[in-house]
Amino acid sequence: MTVAEILLNLLGTPPAHPEPLAIPATGESRLLIDGDLVMGAEGRQLEHVNPADGSVVGTVADATMPDAERAVVAARRAFDQGDWAADLNFRRHCLSQLQDGLRAEGPAFRAALVEEIGCPRRMTYADQYDYAVEKLGFFTELIANMEWERHLPDELQPETRVERTVRKVPLGVVSAITPWNLPVELILAKVGGALAAGCTMVVKPSPLSPWAGTILGRVIAEYTDIPPGVINILVSSDIEVAKYLTRATEIDAVAFTGSTATGRAVMAAAADGLKRVSLELGGKSASIILDDIDVARMLPIIAGMACFNAGQSCIMPSRILVPRSRYHEAIEAARFGVESVPVGDPRSLDTFMGPLISESQRRKVEEHLSRGLAAGGEIAAGGSRIEGSNGYFFAPTLVVDLPEASPLLHEEVFGPVIALIPYDNEDHAVRIANNTEFGLAGYVWSNSTERAQSLARRLRTGMLGVNGGMFTGADMPFGGRRSSGMGREWGLEGLEEFLDVQTLATRIPE
């Protein structure tokens, strides 16, 4: 099997007879506010562009401040006056309906994702859609089985006793702000946890991937019994709307996924109200190849996989560390890997990597490369735009011989740019891997499981993948340390992000 074939199989497995891709996509223009699908108070609209060819694929309502204020008021009312927070069985019922609706609307989402973010069609059968929808069921089952109340031993006093209970209660109204790179998965991570916990929500998807949010809003309205106001979905290009959703006094918690710089701003804005904040931010993950690995066989696949989603994924290993004694061999193997990545039309099932999300993002990748190479190093593969279309394609790129201080070893590029780095021994590899402000993910490869796990545990990251093991299961908490964020999504911890603790003491006369 060729490297290209292996990469395609790792990306996702379509059914034997996949349904036709409904291009042009039929998106959804309306916002979901207080149970209604609406075009917004001021009638503003924004265009969104297919990054594979530069064409306008649709328009959606562009929410303004009156829409945001209405949504927040609706969420507050639904939490304070409705039964959502108290009725566990009803929440399970609605979450099951939502999952069934998402399954039914798979073709609509699949076409929308391919057109609005340029993700390869094959990805929609895995991380970009199907896996995310199936993960949602984890929360439905979790809330049926978890311990919502814990009873402590009674405290005995003269002629009385005190019953003591610790309860888990929903935080309240949650503002969720999500990015464009894996839009459905990142929305559902927050929606699943917050709704399961009993919270109400205002969700603001990225204006670069609006259909991922607006189609979800239509599914909620048409397939579920979720009461008005429990979840509101606003697409907006107005930065004031985003700021309001972090500052509004009616909001109790903010869940944000995006860049580290923006995450710091979100945290500062939420601080005045002492809101609970969860942040899933950037990464500069390292993949360490130990000296017992067959470099020629494994490194092309490891390097190729780092171009997943055109490198627009915070967990991808943009730094690959190899033994110095194998460095020149590794350069050739990694070059072969990145040059084997099938790049092209995202509508094709034979495409592994599509375009970057926008011309702005492509320029940022070029600027990172230019600034990084100014201090030394060279491009071993790629390094330029792929011409021949109006889309925002950039070649899978391998950079070598970088000095230790190079920005390419420390900054998140968010594009298909991989740095190959030699190390002298395992201690040196750990120092290089940890020499970053980020702490999201780390990867280790060895023929010895014990050796690989031992080294992996020394990495200062929130998640670790050893010998190809992945940490993105529904029951596995996802998140990072240091400048990669705080809090977790998915897993039990992803539900507890939206819960508070209430202690109840009741005096019982004897």
Catalytic residues: 280, 314
What the block records as the tokens of 304 is: 């190729």
Q: In terms of C-beta density within 10 A (0-12 exposed, 13-18 middle, 19 or more buried), how is residue 86 classed?
A: exposed
Name the amino acid, one letter, at 426.
E
CA 369/CA 384 separation, integer angstroms:
10
CA 218/CA 208 separation, integer angstroms:
18
CA 60/CA 134 separation, integer angstroms:
27
What the block records as the tokens of 323 is: 């033994």
In a 13 Å sphere around the CA of 405, the CA atoms on its Cβ side amount to 2
3-state secondary structure of 257: strand
3-state secondary structure of 333: helix
Beta-strand pair 200-204/173-177: parallel
Terminal-to-terminal C-alpha distance of the chain: 77
Contact 147, 374 (CB under 8 A): no
Contact 50, 140 (CB under 8 A): no
CA 161/CA 61 separation, integer angstroms:
59
